[in-house]
Amino acid sequence: MRNRALLLVNRQARQGEKSLPEAIRCLEESGFVLIQETTQKPQDLGEIILRYQQEVDLVIIGGGDGTLNAAVDALVETRLPLGILPLGTANDLARTLRIPNSIPEACKVIAKGEIARIDLGVVNGKHFFNVASLGLSVQITQKLTKKTKQRWGIFAYAVTALQVIWESRPFHAEIQINGQSIRVKTVQIAVGNGRYYGGGMAVVHNAMIDDQRLDLYSLEIRHWWQIIPILPTMRQGRHINWSGVRSLSGEEIEVYTRKPRPINTDGEITTYTPAHFRVLPKSLAVLVPVEDSNGAGWSSNHLTSDQ
């Protein structure tokens, strides 16, 4: 029985501090014996997980996508199942897995859900859940402050994007995929493993987190204002149908640039080009909602494209 849990909460997450007592109460009422650790430094999460790996049956993480990204390497190493409390700003992984934002409901998923195995992406040795990208998204990450997140919530991504779009400049890159070498002039290259990123945008319309592939798009526009009409279509992943947007998919992708460029993985800058991306099929166990009689909840059959 999986009742011994390591509970890790990022107090700097948007809802971390205020939601912690409710989460503890809900989990203990569900029968969990908790080892509680909080941190203001997500980079310490991996060390904490490794320290307690022999004492627990699963790891429960409260925070956003950046917090989860900080823990993913240790989760892969220990092979401990993951329970998610969506306490961040965007919560894109939780959205992909259909985990409710409500703390009691998310706790119910952890207590009574089922274990599913999901794919992970890896770039230059760093694992990621959602998307790894370079270009415009890195500028957004660099400008997106904690104060902006607290003030605007999930809309902080859109607000910040509008602030930096006009400053964006194309760069040259070479993409190697499926035996092809493609040279592009682009403002952004995004490589997705999951479905959602950046506060609810979809990588492509049919992306899934267990489809054993990576989905890439390259935003090849000449002028900053050309991105404005594309933005609304990114919510459903339909931007790939626009002129100036290249879409590719494969199990391994390499990206080269003239000079090293920073890469954003799940909202955190973690590596630089040249970049080698690959998918790791079914490499992490996660607690997800059980499919109910109406066909709601999480399963491979339900993580499909928006109709």
Rounded Cα gap, residues 49 and 284, in angstroms: 15
Cα-Cα end-to-end distance for the chain: 38
Q: Tell me how far the alpha carbon of residue 108 is from its chain's centroid.
A: 22
Between 109-118, 130-139, 238-247, 295-304, the lowest mean confidence (pLDDT) is in 295-304
**Packing angle of the helix pair 136-143, 156-165 (nearest 10 deg):** 120
Top-confidence residue, 221 or 39: 221
Name the residue range of residue 265's domain. Answer: 126-281
Beta-strand pair 58-63/4-10: parallel
The domain total for the chain is 2
Residue 256 lies in a domain: yes
pLDDT at 231 (0 to 100): 74
Same domain, 21 and 99: yes
pLDDT at 142 (0 to 100): 61
Burial of residue 163 (number of CB atoms within 10 Å: 0-12, 13-18, 19+): middle
Q: Mean per-residue pLDDT for 266-280?
A: 94
* Dihedral angle of Cα 45, 72, 88, 53, to the nearest 10 degrees: -50
Residue 69 lies in a domain: yes
Q: What are phi and psi of 112, to 5 degrees?
A: -125, 5
pTM: 0.85
Query: 75-107 pLDDT, tens per residue?
Result: 999 999 999 999 887 899 999 999 999 999 999
274 pLDDT band, cuts 50/70/90, is: very high
The CATH number of the domain where 152 resides is what? 2.60.200.40
Cβ atoms 232, 260 nearer than 8 A: no
Rounded Cα gap, residues 253 and 176, in angstroms: 6
Same domain, 104 and 188: no
The 10 Å Cβ neighbour count of residue 18 is: 10
Query: 141-181 pLDDT, tens per residue?
Result: 666 656 655 565 555 556 666 667 667 789 999 999 999 99
Residue 297 lies in a domain: no
Same domain, 9 and 147: no
Q: Mean per-residue pLDDT for 244-248?
A: 92
* Per-chain mean pLDDT for the chain: 85
Same domain, 85 and 147: no
Rounded Cα gap, residues 32 and 2, in angstroms: 8
Cβ atoms 203, 137 nearer than 8 A: no
pLDDT at 159 (0 to 100): 60
> Which range, 41-45, 238-242, 248-252, 287-291, has the best average confidence (pLDDT)?
248-252
Residue 79 lies in a domain: yes
pLDDT at 303 (0 to 100): 44
